Amino acid sequence: MDPQLIAIGMAIGIAVTAPLGPVNLTVIRASLRASMAGGMAAASGSMLGDALFATLAAYGVRWIEDWVHAHSEAIQIVGGLFLIFIGIRTAMHHVKDAELSLSDLGRGAYLRKAMTCFFLTITNPGALLGFFAIFTGLGGVLDFGSVPYRPLNAVAGVILGTLIWWSFVTYLVTHIKGRVTSYTLVRLNIWAGVGVAVFGFVILGNLALRYFG
């Protein structure tokens, strides 16, 4: 075990996860809806996706990177349409006062939240390419080829970093939940839904400009 390598992996995990995007919006909304348990259930899907990408990048699975490049348009179309669907559904959801008091949505709902965030993560080709870019850029420091365990240490650090980030976000959101009313959550749903849908439209818009611009 290399503490320094794990620490670098943690920093990479936080850096990749922290930027506000569809996954962060989904986790925040889940935390308000079902406290920290709901938020972490949603975040677990993103953590799994990031762990998969970090593993592929750390072990240098180049054919995966080539496949992503070759099918990036299809992946972006599917991801963009999915974001728009999730955004519209979120924005149109009407929140009742009783929903704010629920702390357990049931295993099925938790699993759906996790799968949603997992799908949002793996349909973002930039996430995988981002890990490849970071690991390649830090190749001299990470030195994956010197000892077999080093890639595993980096991946463990990434997972730990994402866990720390999502724990912080869900804890923070849960502790301001008492100030949130159903009206506030409705407004959040609208803005979160619009934000998620915008990401989808931006993805599809960039593809359109590439071909027709």
Q: Which of 26-40, 98-112, 140-154, 176-190 has the lowest mean pLDDT?
A: 98-112
Q: Judge whether residue 105 has pLDDT over 50.
A: yes
Helix (H, G, I), strand (E, B) or coil at 32: helix
Residue 183 lies in a domain: no
Euclidean distance between CA atoms 173 and 166, whole angstroms: 10
* The model's pTM: 0.71
Residue 138 domain-assigned (yes or no): yes
- Residue 87 counted as domain residue: no
Query: Is residue 211 assigned to a domain?
Result: no
Q: Quote the mean pLDDT of the chain.
A: 78
Select the more confidently predicted residue: 96 or 84: 84
DSSP 8-state secondary structure symbol assigned to residue 100: G
| Calpha distance 75→135 (Å, rounded) | 23
213, part of any domain: no
Select from 150, 103, 107 the least CA-distant residue to 2. 150
Secondary structure (DSSP) of the chain? --HHHHHHHHHHHHHHH-S-SHHHHHHHHHHHHHHHHHHHHHHHHHHHHHHHHHHHHHTT-HHHHHHHHHTHHHHHHHHHHHHHHHHHHHHTPPPPGGGGG-----HHHHHHHHHHHHHHHHT-HHHHHHHHHHHHHTHHHH-TTTSTTHHHHHHHHHHHHHHHHHHHHHHHHHHTGGG--HHHHHHHHHHHHHHHHHHHHHHHHHHHHHHH-
Mean pLDDT, to the nearest integer, of 10-24? 80
Asked if the structure places residue 184 within a domain, the reply is no
pLDDT grade for 198, boundaries at 50, 70 and 90 = confident
- 197, part of any domain: no
Question: Stretch 123-141: mean pLDDT, rounded?
Answer: 73
Cα within 13 Å of Cα(183), Cβ side: 1
Nearest-Å Rg of the Cα atoms of the chain is 18
pLDDT on residue 102: 45
* Structural domains in the chain (count): 1
Tokens 């590439």 found at? 210
What residues make up the domain containing 15? 3-71+100-178
Domain presence at residue 105: yes
